[in-house]
Amino acid sequence: MIQYFTFQNKQVLKVEGLEEASWVHLCPPFEEQDFELYAKAFNIPVDFITDSLDIDERSRYEIEEDAKLILINTSIINQSLKETEAIYVTVPIGIVMTGSTILTITPEENPVINKFINNKLKNFNVIDQSHFVLHIFEQNVFWFLECLKRLNLKRNLIEQELYNSSRNEELRQLLKIEKSLVYFVNSLSANELLMMKMKRTDFLKLRGTDPHEDLFEDIVIDNGQALEMSNVYTNILSGTMEAYASIVSNNLNTFIHRLTVITIILMVPTLVASFYGMNLEYIPFSKSKYTFIGLIVTSIFLGFLLIVFLGRGSKSRK
């Protein structure tokens, strides 16, 4: 699907053709044979399109004749129905800067690009292509921060559930959050390296334009903050999982200890009863009418002695 837009009065307006467009957005569904048509129409290499649709592509930039490609990773909600998959995954946004038109390419519907299409941005004003690229970078960082807040809130709720019950469902949810955070750390790290390299080489030709330079500097700082938050949440989650595993192991040890104590206490009366259950002629007190009562009393007495002995042993260990 191809969409054409232009910028007027601080808004994004949809237009019908390339002649009127300042911004063109490509998003599936489309056929592979369309790649050549789009490449010829915008006078760009086919690789610029195919690389932007590769979900495993790393953040980078590339220059080919009069066209510039920027690949930056963003997060989207995972549509997979598998229980073991992450809540969020990361995919690239391809930004191609040509002579008079800027082209964006995404492999799936993208919440960052949708903010521009649906005019959900305040104080949005595009001065030139470089400024529009900075806006995309800025909204991408804000979207990462929003996703991180959602994941952290979900983690807190799951931890509260774990305090009350030990169910596999909560553990699976924590694992999904952990996978999402791993994707975030990798993507934010790659984005940070990309922006630092772009700033060092002045890829967007921002040097000497104070408002643009300040905005780019703020974006780099915000991206670093998002990366730091991702690392902190990852460490907290890892600590939570380790603590919960220790709690489960401790509870299991306590249960096994109690079961062992009960088994030992029941073993002695069982041993006494088994002796008098033997089919032998000369068993002491076998002819007495008080033998059964004596066996019961003796078993209870021995069991009580074992309880006292094991109880003292447990107190001394504490």
pLDDT tens-digit map of 206-233: 887 778 888 899 999 999 999 999 999 9
**Span(s) in the chain for CATH 1.20.58:** 251-317
Question: Does residue 317 have a pLDDT over 60?
Answer: no
pLDDT value for 59: 92
pLDDT at 197: 93
- CATH topology assigned to domain 251-317: Methane Monooxygenase Hydroxylase; Chain G, domain 1 (1.20.58)
Model confidence pLDDT, tens digit, residues 235-293: 988 888 787 777 777 777 888 878 887 887 778 777 777 777 776 666 676 667 777 78
- C-alpha span between 138 and 267 (Å, rounded): 72
CATH placement of domain 2-249: 3.30.460.20
- Torsions phi, psi for 204 (to 5 deg): -95, 5
Q: Look up the pTM and report it.
A: 0.80
Weakest mean pLDDT among 21-35, 40-54, 130-144, 223-237: 21-35
- Residue 74's pLDDT is 94
Give Cα separations from 79 to 70, 83, 85, 104, 222 (angstroms). 26, 11, 9, 22, 27
Looking at residue 268, its pLDDT comes to 76
The mean pLDDT of 299-311, rounded to a whole number, is: 77
Question: Which residue spans of the chain are classified as CATH 3.30.460.20?
Answer: 2-249
Question: Position of tokens 């032998």?
Answer: 280
pLDDT, mean of residues 113-132: 85
For residue 294, what are the contacts with CB-CB under 8 A and spacing of at least 6?
Answer: 285, 288
Using pLDDT thresholds of 50, 70 and 90, give the confidence band for residue 314: low
Give pLDDT, residue 261.
79
